[in-house]
Amino acid sequence: MVVKPPYKILVVDDEPDLEPLMLQRMRRNIRRGQYNFVFARNGVQALDRLHQEDDIDMVVSDINMPEMDGLTLLQQIPKVDPNIRSIIVSAYGDMENIRTAMNRGAFDFVTKPIDFRDLRVTIDRTLQHLMEWREALASRDQLVALQNELTVASKMQQSILPTHFPDHPGYQLFANMEPARSVGGDFFDVVTLENERIGMTVADVSDKGVPAALFMMSTRTLIKGAAIGSAGPGDVLREVNNLLFEDNETEMFVTVLYAEYNPANGEFVYASGGHDPPLLVRPDGSSTSLPLTGGIALGLLPDLNYRQNSVILEPGETIVLYTDGVSEAMTSDEEQFGLERLRDAVAADPGEDAAAANEAVFEAVSDFVGDNPPSDDITCLTFRRTVSG
């Protein structure tokens, strides 16, 4: 059963002011018939509501509350209905609780003070995932062809990708992912950090299908969680690797390039977990692959350390993060796209913005491979320090 909107969202918080604030800030979505909010003041009240009303789609819950806290509530929700998705609201940088919440099945989290735009994006993404999930459940009851499972997985993959990029005078960022017909495992993400810093991820999960899509989703959420309040990209990968390893019973793995940029001083810090290094493209069209940091793909071995490396970006310089779907895109004669063509596509028109440069990469790949269908997902993220930045 795939339920159509409005989606019923249970908001759990002991702060009485949140109810009118939420209704006020989300009024457009309510008026448009997208969301329908109900409220509870603690975990016990929330469970009562969940028992009484069987049409609640998702829960947005605070952590610290009287009678029953949000982390305990998270454990109880699947017993009422395993298909309800939860978002947790936590104090900024409270990794311990965020991690516990994720381990207990929270789908995502937002930090306090609540940024309602961010909450809206997170709610939409969770609902999108919920729809795919329900579709997956519905089709599982029929005899599921592999292709069908892949369609569901690819929808799940699409649902976690950001569609909005930060608007900052100091830099431009744009990314896109074009899924291959059958193989898939790429994703990218962008996370806003303290002091106007920004974190960015490009990653490639080794397998395909629904298990890989779920692995992809936990990777994305764990990176987002670890990035906030971390000591840097190396630290983030070390933490995410350990968390992925704990729950990884298969030999699935993910290669990740995670980087952070500080617009205050132009510093770009990155760490690789088995992923291709960033490509630096200068305004004059020359380019260089930044040094590999030597980390192993994530999810395979515990307690690994990940080195990070940093460069100062000059105004106008561009960083390209990509997956092997770009560099190894192939013609029917098995010739590969390679890094020089990637550089040329990005540098072709220095007057263009990052979005256009990123788009140019996809066009160049498409022109290059001709009618040879892509065998892998193609992901490219273009980050540029603006000339005035």
Partner 1 sequence: MKLTVVNVTENGVMVVAIEGRVDSSTAPKFRRVLGGVADAGTRGLVLDLENLRFISSASLGVLLEVTKAQARRGGMLAVCSVPDALRKILEISGFDQIIPVHDSQAEALAACSR
Q: List residues binding partner 1 (CB under 8 A).
A: 182-183, 185, 204, 206-208, 250-253, 255, 272-277, 292, 294-297, 300-301, 324
Look at residue 8 and give its three-state secondary structure: strand
Taking the complex as a whole, how short is the minimal distance between the CB of residue 324 and partner 1, in angstroms?
Answer: 8
Minimum CB distance to partner 1 smaller for 23 or for 330: 330
Minimum CB distance to partner 1 smaller for 50 or for 252: 252
Taking the complex as a whole, how short is the minimal distance between the CB of residue 185 and partner 1, in angstroms?
Answer: 8
Q: Which residues of 29-50 are buried (b: 16+ CB within 10 A; e: fewer)?
A: bbeeebbebebbbbbebbbebb
With CA atoms as reference, report the closest residue to 70 among 38, 93, 95, 102. 102
Look at residue 305 and give its three-state secondary structure: coil
Minimum CB distance to partner 1 smaller for 156 or for 254: 254
Say how far apart CA 105 and CA 99 lie, in whole Å.
10
Question: Are 67 and 43 within 8 A, CB to CB?
Answer: yes
Taking the complex as a whole, how short is the minimal distance between the CB of residue 127 and partner 1, in angstroms?
Answer: 30
Taking the complex as a whole, how short is the minimal distance between the CB of residue 223 and partner 1, in angstroms?
Answer: 18
Element (H, E) at 363: helix 354-369
Minimum CB distance to partner 1 smaller for 58 or for 259: 259
Minimum CB distance to partner 1 smaller for 171 or for 188: 188
Taking the complex as a whole, how short is the minimal distance between the CB of residue 65 and partner 1, in angstroms?
Answer: 42
Taking the complex as a whole, how short is the minimal distance between the CB of residue 161 and partner 1, in angstroms?
Answer: 20
Give the largest CA-CA distance in the chain: 67
Minimum CB distance to partner 1 smaller for 81 or for 247: 247
Question: Are 174 and 162 within 8 A, CB to CB?
Answer: no
Say how far apart CA 76 and CA 79 lie, in whole Å.
6
